[in-house]
Amino acid sequence: MTNERRDFIKKTSLAGIGAAIAVPSIASADSKKTFRWKMTNCYGAGAPFYSTGPGSASYFCKRVEELTDGRLRIKHYPAGELIPAMEGFDAVSKGTIEMNWGNSFFWAGKTFAAQYFTAVPFGMNFQGTNAWLQFGGGQELWDEVYKPFNVIGLAAGNTGVQMTGWFKKEIKDVKDLDGLRMRVPGLAGKVLEQLGVSVKLLPGGEIFPALERGVIDAAEFVGPFQDRRMGFQKAAKFYYTTGWGEPSNTTECLINKDAWATLPKDIQAIVKTVAAECNLMGLSWSEANNSEALEDLVKNQGVEAKTLPDSVIEKLRELTFVTYAKLTANDPLVKKVHESYFAFKAMHDDWQNKSEEVVMTKLSS
């Protein structure tokens, strides 16, 4: 071996050793970097599922801190503590805060396509919605819809089927809806307006006072457990189901895109994993608690649980798809999301009818 060759090997070996030493020091520095974020919430302090308890925003923040060993700490602010309940989207978009917990259909005024990532009238249940989001192109469309706003949305909870709502009077016919003042968000509200309903969009904490004082005649919120906690049974006694407006309802973890880009890949992975954990945990918690709550409301608190008449459901279905046609006609992105969602639904329905439907109709007690 020549002297020149020995010098080359010696130099490159030393360089390699130096690089090997340098890489861990870089990784170590990155692994020690800490992040302090703020998260606001569309729902108030103490709200089960949304603010406290399994799968909630506070649970999410705690789990992220635990799994990142304190590298990402997120301070949770329930509605009204830092900003008003419905200002989370703008605050995250501008980078004033890094995260918001709520539902994407609250932002349908900015882009109607946001509706499809929370609840779709006459749409899919939890299983279908999650399948579309994860494996049917739904998440990619969510990213595309939110790109102009500099935000990212992640599914972080699901209530399952939501009730149609609380009514002060019985609904026997479509005409009984005419003239009602009702708290109901999203596309369901747009449909009900065509039947003469005066739609109000109120934060959760404002619903009961409005219903009790007669400012509104009816209200949709979530399901038996959360609704009972809000005290709606004290202001209205007719409780209707069908889930036409919200066959499932996805919670959104909204993240500022610039802030997201500053997180190391491992922390990004942890955030996504905890969101997925909350998504499943939220549904499981809802399923575990709603049955007992509904039984208590009916047996002990004088509530009449009813299903909307078929004639009402069919009218709602008709108007819903007329509304879809109008809203997708002039917005290519909304049309793209709509077509993707309902194409996946058609496929999923075929399987659902051969699986879940059989279980529910043939095997249930």
Which residues 6+ apart lie within 8 Å of 59 measured at CB? 52, 53, 278, 281
Q: What is the pTM of this model?
A: 0.87
Percent of the chain with pLDDT over 90: 84
Among positive and negative, which fits the CA dihedral 262, 268, 272, 273?
negative
- The 10s digit of each residue's pLDDT in 142-173 is 999 999 999 999 999 999 999 999 999 999 99
Q: Is the pLDDT of residue 186 over 90?
A: no
Going from the N-terminus, what domains does the chain have, and what CATH number goes with each?
34-161+248-287 (3.40.190.170), 165-243+305-360 (3.40.190.10)
162 labeled part of a ligand binding site: yes
**Which among 158, 222, 210 has a CA at the least distance from the CA of 181?**
210
Sorting pLDDT into bands at 50, 70 and 90, what band is 30? Answer: low
- The 10s digit of each residue's pLDDT in 283-341 is 999 999 999 999 999 999 999 999 999 999 999 999 999 999 999 999 999 999 999 99
Which of 1-5, 136-140, 172-176 shows the lowest per-residue confidence on average (mean pLDDT)?
1-5
Sorting pLDDT into bands at 50, 70 and 90, what band is 203? Answer: confident
36 labeled part of a ligand binding site: no
Q: Is the pLDDT of residue 15 over 60?
A: no
Amino acid occupying residue 344: F
> What's the CA dihedral at 268, 274, 275, 280 to 10 degrees?
150
Higher-pLDDT residue of 9, 89: 89
Structure tokens at 199: 């739609």
Q: Is the pLDDT of residue 24 over 70?
A: no
Sorting pLDDT into bands at 50, 70 and 90, what band is 29? Answer: low
Asked if 191 and 208 touch (Cβ cutoff 8 Å), the reply is: no
DSSP state at residue 248: S
Q: What is the mean pLDDT of the segment spanning 17-32?
A: 44
63 labeled part of a ligand binding site: no
- The 10s digit of each residue's pLDDT in 116-127 is 999 999 999 999
Q: What is the mean pLDDT of the segment spanning 32-49?
A: 94
Asked if 244 and 191 touch (Cβ cutoff 8 Å), the reply is: no
Residue at token pair 């709550």: 293
221 labeled part of a ligand binding site: yes
Q: What is the pLDDT of residue 365?
A: 64
Q: Per-residue DSSP letters for 65-85?
A: HHHTTTSEEEEEE-TTTSS-G
Sorting pLDDT into bands at 50, 70 and 90, what band is 231? Answer: very high
Helices of type H across the chain: 3-32, 57-67, 88-94, 126-135, 138-146, 186-193, 204-213, 224-230, 257-262, 265-300, 310-329, 332-354, 356-358
